[in-house]
Structures are given as C-alpha cells and as structure tokens.
Amino acid sequence: MLRRRKTQVLLAAAREARYVGYWKAEACLVNLAGCYDYLDLPYYVSQDLEGAATAIWPTCKEMLDAYVPPLFLEKARLADVPVPKYYVSNGYYEPPVIIDPVNPFTLKGRIVLKPGREEATARSLTRNFTYAICCQELPAGCRIAHFRSVLGWSTAAPYRSPARVVWEVFHIPIARVRIVKCTDGSSLLSDISPLPFEELGVREADYVEEHIEWDKSAFMSSAIPSQTLAK
C-alpha cells in the first residue's frame, strides 16, 4: 500500500509539472513524458519552453529525429554508435531484415527472416507503395532484444551502456530501445520508441524520484539559457 501511494504521489507531481523536471546530475530540464510523437502534448510542452528561451531536452528537433528510423540510425552512425546496415526503399527489400515504416500512419514494423511474402509485406507497410520503408539488415545468427532506458540508465546492468548512449546522443530521457545482439557479443542500436511515464516500473520510478526535482520554483531558477543548446 505504501509503495502504491508513493507511486501515485510521484505521478501526480509529474503531471502537475507537465512532466518537466530538473535533472540534478545533468543540471538541465528534461521532458519526461516518455512519448514524444509530433504534435502530441509533450511536443508542445517542449515547444513552449523553447519559445520562452528556456533550454529543454529533448528539443522538438530531437523528438522528430528520434522517431524517424533513418534519421535515428544516421544520427547514431555519425556519432560512431554501431547500428545495422540499412537502406530506405519504396518496397523492395531482401530478408533477413527489420522493416520500419517511414510515415506517420503506420506505427509497427515487421521482422522478416525468410523470403516468400516480400511484395505483400511491402505493400502493407508502404500503404500500397505510397510511403518509404527503412530496412535494417540482420547479421547471421543475431537476435533482437529490447530494454527500457530511463535517464540514461536501465534496471538491467548489461544495458546501462547503450542506455547512456540514448541520452548522450539523442537526449531522449525515457524510451523503449531495440538492439541487435550479434554472435560476437557486440550490439547494434536499432530503434527507440515511446515509453509513457505512467508505465514506469517500481525501480524506474524510484530512480526518477532520486534524480528529478519537480518543484517548479527550484528548477525554473536553475534553468539554463536555450543558447547553450548550440554549444
């Protein structure tokens, strides 16, 4: 009962602050809504703060980059983060491959391991070959794994290093993360997707409570100017 009450208090504080908190360790404001889709409320929260010359992470640009698969992969590659080989197509692809849609209407992709239904799958994910798809080539013998990243940290110790990358490269504080684990023990960053704040687990909520200050008078006085985003 105490745990449930404590979680409810944290959630109420987050909602009152529009999920914007001051991250003491990084000395910055973060939008912790966890879902950063274009034109959803968290997008506008960051937009309002940017418009008021207050630095906030993620920025609206960072939100857009994170959820568009080829932009996400290229941004990671340019930061020397290992990612699968990938290409953008209007329908053609060769298995084994992860296919992510590049359009605002289709949210779920497919993992295609064997040939046989390429045209039907491509037709579905491109909406009759109208939109592009992003195809990630899968190395032989690999497996696909997922973890949750919260403030550059994960409850699972093996994923704390890639979780830190999600924060340092993309400034996304809360996300579900997909990686490709290769037979040589290496991992390839593959995708990040929404993880709503309300869906945080007990340990994740405790971590947020330990590191985030929700009191507006405290974090607004500590907010850094937006000009620092360019540095």
SS (H, E, C) 157-176: HHHHHHHHHHHHHHCCCEEE
Query: CA 175 → CA 1, 25, 58, 117, 186, distances in Å?
Result: 28, 19, 12, 31, 21
Contact between 110 and 125 (Cβ < 8 Å): yes
Specify whether 207 is located in the same domain as 158. yes
Nearest by Cα to 32 from 9, 48, 13: 13
Specify whether 23 is located in the same domain as 66. yes
Specify whether 41 is located in the same domain as 106. no
pLDDT at 197: 96
Helical (H) or strand (E) element with 47: helix 41-51
Could you tell me if residue 33 is inside a domain? yes
Within a 13 Å sphere around the CA of 31, how many CA atoms are in the beta-carbon half? 29
pLDDT at 117: 83
Instruction: Look up residue 15 and give its DSSP letter.
Output: H
Alpha-carbon span 130 to 196, nearest angstrom? 30
Could you tell me if residue 27 is inside a domain? yes
Alpha-carbon span 42 to 25, nearest angstrom? 22
pLDDT at 119: 85
Alpha-carbon span 212 to 220, nearest angstrom? 13
- List, for residues 59-106, the tens digit of each pLDDT value: 999 999 999 999 999 999 999 999 999 999 998 999 999 999 998 776
> Any idea which residue has 């039907």 for tokens?
120
Specify whether 73 is located in the same domain as 149. yes
Specify whether 179 is located in the same domain as 163. yes
Specify whether 45 is located in the same domain as 129. no
Alpha-carbon span 163 to 203, nearest angstrom? 15
Could you tell me if residue 221 is inside a domain? no
- List, for residues 169-193, the tens digit of each pLDDT value: 999 999 999 999 999 999 999 999 9
Specify whether 170 is located in the same domain as 68. yes
Which residue type sits at 185?
A: G
Q: Which domain holds residue 105?
A: 86-137
Query: Does residue 39 or residue 225 have the better pLDDT?
Result: 39
Specify whether 155 is located in the same domain as 62. yes
Specify whether 69 is located in the same domain as 165. yes
Specify whether 175 is located in the same domain as 102. no
Please state, as a whole number, how many other Cβ atoms lie within 10 Å of the Cβ of residue 156: 11
Specify whether 48 is located in the same domain as 146. yes
Contact between 155 and 176 (Cβ < 8 Å): no
- List, for residues 112-139, the tens digit of each pLDDT value: 999 888 888 888 888 888 889 999 999 9
